[in-house]
Amino acid sequence: MSKDTETTDTSGSYVEKGQEFNRDTNYIEDRILDDPDAQWPVEPGRYRLIAARACPWANRTVIVRRLLGLEDVISLGMPGPTHDQRSWTFDLDPGGVDPVLGIERLQQAFFKRYPDYPRGITVPAIVDVPSGVVVTNDFAQITEDFSTQWTAYHRDGAPNLWPEESRDEMESLMRMIYTEINNGVYRSGFAGSQEAYEKAFDRLFTALDTVEERLATRRYLMGESITEADVRLFTTLARFDPVYYGHFKANRTALRDFPNLWGYARDLYQTPGFGDTIDFRQIKDHYYIVHKDVNPTGIVPVGPDLSGWLSPHCREELGGSPFGDGTAPGPVAAGEEVPFESTAAAWVK
């Protein structure tokens, strides 16, 4: 395809004009396993998670890493919120170089392993520090493996994000959330025709209405405590009003106008491990500056008012406890704090 017949999103996916958005889901599927004979064995200090705060898929991995207490065994590198067509860059670090990997662009880790790597350079990605090569960028598998393969290094009181008794139901729900909501906002925002947009719009809000109804009688998606399903939905909800409602034309109903979803999102935002990973400024900068096809001027909106994220949610009336029999994570690791001006608290008068 030529550049006059296509547009691209930040994952390297393509949108043909007149067609609907299709995400490229061909990721590097290698896994880090709790097996000393594996190609990539679990080993504290060996791997570095590269996860831009702006990206919802990367944001998931930062949340799960924090909830499980893996900060001391898997280091975190954070590219800036904007990038060019080549790669995410470490422009927030001194000299524009990741201090552990010694590279300026995530692309270098991909090319070191695959010199002719043909797909998008995406986050999250895990890099093998000794060799400097990318191990995987399969975002869904990364968080599952944090829960199931790194158990020996979970903190005391870490929540069970993959409860065996409800796993089948949870996986079915997460498939719907991914196809209809996580990816649904992109399908709306990158639609190549009016017809494709309206179809995507209807699918997205049908799914949001379904989840709104589900949350009327339960505090979290699977019941009384947080699971992986909540992590996967939350990162889209956190970006909905600041970005997707306007930028992606998902404007039938704002998140703040869904009674249950809005209360649920605030409940999670105010829970350690969730809101303390959200950088609203980086989120807005990323979408409004990078997506030139959608926002040619690159102007970043000042609003919306974010103070409502800290208002009482009253979801505790439904019972349950966020961490079940576990406990909340401790303070955010030094150097990983979200700047105050990028938080909801900065909007409180």
Catalytically active residues are 55, 186
Q: What is the DSSP track for 73-86?
A: TSEEE---S-B-SS
Q: What angle do CA 271, 59, 53 make, to 5 degrees?
A: 105
3-state class of 144 per DSSP?
Answer: helix
Distance CA 278, CA 223 (A): 24
Neighbour count for residue 26 (Cβ, 10 Å) = 11
- DSSP, collapsed to helix, strand or coil, labels residue 48 as strand
Strand partners, 41: 33
Of 18, 149, 178, 157, nearest to 74 by C-alpha is 149
Beta bridge partners of 89: 105
SS (H, E, C) 172-200: HHHHHHHHHHHCHHHHHHCCCCHHHHHHH
184 contact partners, CB below 8 Å, separation of at least 6: 200, 203, 204, 207
With left for phi above 0 and alpha for psi between -120 and 50, is residue 270 left, alpha or beta? Answer: alpha
CB atoms within 10 A of CB 183: 21
Dist CA 142 CA 148 (whole Å): 10
Q: How far is CA 142 from CA 150, 151, 275, 283, in A?
A: 11, 14, 21, 22
Distance, in Å, from the CA atom of 150 to the CA atom of 171, rounded to the nearest integer, reads 20
Strand (E) or helix (H) holding 110: helix 107-113
